[in-house]
Structure 1
Amino acid sequence: MDLMFTESCILVAVLLRLARMGVAALPMHDGITVPRSMADRGMAAMGDASLGLLALRFRS
């Protein structure tokens, strides 16, 4: 349960960060869907959120 909560915190942080950047993003199970042209921003947001919450960098 703790890991599921942590995962949801990362996902919410990513979605909020992208919304502030004006990037449309949809949650998808344990990831996000963004327009192909915004893929780099989506990856960066995921990396920043995981680094901020876990001190770990997300890797694809």
Structure 2
Amino acid sequence: MADIVNLRQARKQRARDEKVRIAQQNRVLYGRSKGEKQRDHLVADQAEKFVAGHRREPSGVESEQ
């Protein structure tokens, strides 16, 4: 015979498990230290400056026709 399951308790446990899963995902996505964020920002700025410095026309000047 099957075990008797309280559906209310099962729903609540499933909701708790879902919250734990979402919290784990958020820790992975957003759980970075201030130094890591600053490093990533610095790398992105350097890459943007590198690309901007190698453009044929400056981005502010539109081609005259």
TM-score range, shorter chain: 0.3 to 0.5
Higher strand share: 1
Greater relative CO, 1 or 2 (CA 8 Å, sep 6+): 1
TM-score, normalization: structure 2? 0.35
Structure with larger Rg: 2
